[in-house]
């Protein structure tokens, strides 16, 4: 991996959570947060004058519970935002999938032990990490389910398929955060590990910054955390 150098006084840092700050878990609820991560993020935010944001596909309330630190945070791929630590939660006006969609997904995964459906406010995820044989049929069923509707999309993720509103992405989250005073006029750097982060990479690059894939730039979440520690300590 190449050495990554950024100027703390000029950069705005956007960090994915699962697979980036922490290792991927077999199921979302089994994720393990290193004990020192919240304090590291707090010091990093102080070093970058508040220009550090968490941008995740998880619901915002989960991220805030897992990372009890005062940072701007975005959940559900940009659907739910806390644009500054003291700001109220902002929820975008987005379509909700028909109630039978996640029910049909549940019926599908019942035939694949280990597969699971994660329900969200504006969509749902079919996880097949523990049942990889479900991958192809799950995608076919979900795409057929959506049919001609253009307001939802089936998005690939790491060992999962997510049905979500087309109108939001981690790219829209970067745009929203870059409009905030702590981030404005800085060079955005988005770090993620998944296909779901590609929109964030693109938005950061379009604004003159960097989109860094964890596996290429750092290798592992532990290596990224070590780099963040050095960055937080740099003077």
Do the bridges between strand 116-120 and strand 123-127 make them parallel or antiparallel, or are there none, so unpaired?
antiparallel
Q: Tell me which residues are annotated as active site.
A: 16
| CA gap 81, 102 in Å, rounded | 24
CA triple 167-179-49, angle to 5 deg: 130
Backbone angles phi, psi at 163, to 5 degrees: -95, 120
From residue 169, alpha-carbon distances to 41, 74, 108, 200, 210 in Å are: 23, 10, 26, 8, 17
- Provide DSSP, 20-64: TTB---SSGGG----TTHHHHHHHHHHHTTT-EEEE-SS-HHHHH
């Amino acid at each position: 991996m190449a050495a990554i150098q950024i100027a703390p006084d000029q950069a705005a840092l956007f960090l994915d959570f699962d697979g980036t700050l922490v290792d991927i878990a077999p199921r979302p609820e089994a994720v393990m947060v290193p004990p020192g991560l919240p304090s590291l993020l707090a010091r990093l935010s102080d070093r970058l004058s508040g220009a550090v944001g968490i941008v995740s596909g998880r619901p915002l309330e989960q991220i805030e519970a897992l990372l009890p630190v005062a940072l701007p945070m975005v959940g559900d791929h940009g659907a739910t935002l806390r644009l500054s630590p003291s700001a109220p939660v902002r929820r975008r006006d987005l379509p909700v999938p028909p109630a039978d969609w996640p029910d049909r997904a549940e019926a599908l995964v019942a035939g694949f032990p280990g597969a699971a459906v994660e329900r969200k406010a504006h969509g749902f995820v079919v996880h097949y990490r523990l049942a990889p044989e479900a991958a192809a049929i799950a995608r076919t069923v979900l795409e057929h389910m959506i049919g001609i509707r253009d307001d939802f999309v089936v998005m690939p993720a790491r060992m999962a398929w997510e049905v979500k509103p087309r109108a939001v992405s981690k790219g829209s989250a970067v745009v929203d955060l870059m409009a905030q005073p702590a981030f404005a006029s800085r060079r955005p750097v988005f770090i993620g590990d998944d296909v779901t982060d590609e929109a964030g990479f693109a938005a950061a690059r379009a604004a003159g910054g960097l989109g860094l894939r964890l596996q290429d730039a750092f290798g592992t979440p532990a290596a990224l955390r070590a780099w963040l520690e050095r960055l937080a300590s740099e003077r």
